[in-house]
Amino acid sequence: MVVHPGAGQAGGTLAAAVLAHAPETAGVGGQRRPGIVHRLDKGTSGLLVVAKTRPAYDSLVAQLAARTVARRYLVVVHGLPTPGDGVIDAPIGRHPRDRVRMAVRPPGQGRRAVTRYRVLERFPAVPAAYLEARLETGRTHQIRVHLAARGHPVLGDDTYRPRSLPRPDLDPEGLALHAAELGFVHPLTGQPVAFAVAPPPRMARLLARLRGLESPTTPARRPAR
């Protein structure tokens, strides 16, 4: 769902849905994004937090700035990442030739971005892999840019998939990226809270198809924990 109205998208936005559900959010954090503390990339499913009051909004924004909000994503990528877990610490900024896209940039030409990832399951027959990714920063398209820069773009991501990399012979039904868990300190109670949501049916179908492509002699491999 698009976050707020823009060119070619006047209705059907998250901002409109928030205002319809909680009119008191009008003006919290700005007119275009009422109460919306952060955003998800277009096509990404999952959790997003909305503040109903200005104090709650300010608290959540401060927690994001301090990098104390826990954000865990599930993602299916092209290829088999090696090593099976790691940290990608690479600056992100606007692509020098395509202003719609972001890119990993040289030091001093982008903002610091840190993504931690871990392989949950491998599908050598495709090849593809199912990962979890945790954000330490929140740059635009961060997970997609970092993984693509490592040679493992997200399935269904035509923005960052290199033209030289063919699409796998399956339909991901959209961007295979899901915001699965969100944790922060509640602005009113001061207590830590955590939320989780399962991947949508389309992602479950994608994983089922990937597992079905593995022959009995090359089963989908889950790395040792």
Is residue 39 scored above 50 in pLDDT? yes
Is residue 219 scored above 50 in pLDDT? no
Query: Do 24 and 84 fall within a single domain?
Result: no
Is residue 166 scored above 80 in pLDDT? no
Give the pLDDT band of residue 104 (cuts 50, 70, 90): very high
Query: Do 55 and 76 fall within a single domain?
Result: no
Is residue 224 one of the residues assigned to a domain?
no
Query: Do 161 and 93 fall within a single domain?
Result: yes
Tens of pLDDT, residue by residue over 188-202, are 999 999 999 999 999
Give the pLDDT band of residue 11 (cuts 50, 70, 90): low
Count of the separate structural domains present in the chain: 2
pLDDT at 3: 58
Across residues 220-224, what is the average pLDDT?
Answer: 55
Across residues 123-139, what is the average pLDDT?
Answer: 96
Query: Do 179 and 156 fall within a single domain?
Result: yes
Is residue 196 one of the residues assigned to a domain?
yes
Give the pLDDT band of residue 169 (cuts 50, 70, 90): confident
pLDDT at 54: 94
Query: Do 54 and 92 fall within a single domain?
Result: no
**What residue numbers bound the domain in which 192 lies?**
71-213
Is residue 217 scored above 60 in pLDDT? no
Query: Do 51 and 153 fall within a single domain?
Result: no
Is residue 180 one of the residues assigned to a domain?
yes
Is residue 184 one of the residues assigned to a domain?
yes
Residues above pLDDT 70, as percent of the chain: 89
Query: Do 94 and 192 fall within a single domain?
Result: yes
Q: What is the SS3 assignment for the chain?
A: CCCCCECCECCCCHHHHHHHHCHHHCCCCCCCCCCECCCCCCCCEECCCECCCHHHHHHHHHHHHCCCCEEEEEEEEECCCCCCEEEEECCEEECCCCCCCEEECCCCCCECCEEEEEEEEEECCCCEEEEEEEECCCCCCHHHHHHHHCCCCECCCCCCCCCCCCCCCCCCCCCCEEEEEEEEECCCCCCEEEEECCCCHHHHHHHHHHHHHCCCCCCCECCCC
For the annotated catalytic residues, the residue numbers are: 41
Query: Do 136 and 92 fall within a single domain?
Result: yes
Query: Do 77 and 183 fall within a single domain?
Result: yes
pLDDT at 171: 80
Higher confidence at residue 66 or residue 170? 66
Is residue 23 one of the residues assigned to a domain?
yes
Is residue 223 one of the residues assigned to a domain?
no
Query: Do 107 and 199 fall within a single domain?
Result: yes
Query: Do 88 and 157 fall within a single domain?
Result: yes
Query: Do 104 and 204 fall within a single domain?
Result: yes
Rounded to two decimals, what is the model's pTM?
A: 0.88
Point out the least confidently predicted range of 9-13, 37-41, 114-118, 134-138.
9-13
Is residue 209 one of the residues assigned to a domain?
yes
Tens of pLDDT, residue by residue over 54-101, are 999 999 999 999 999 999 999 999 999 999 999 999 999 999 899 889
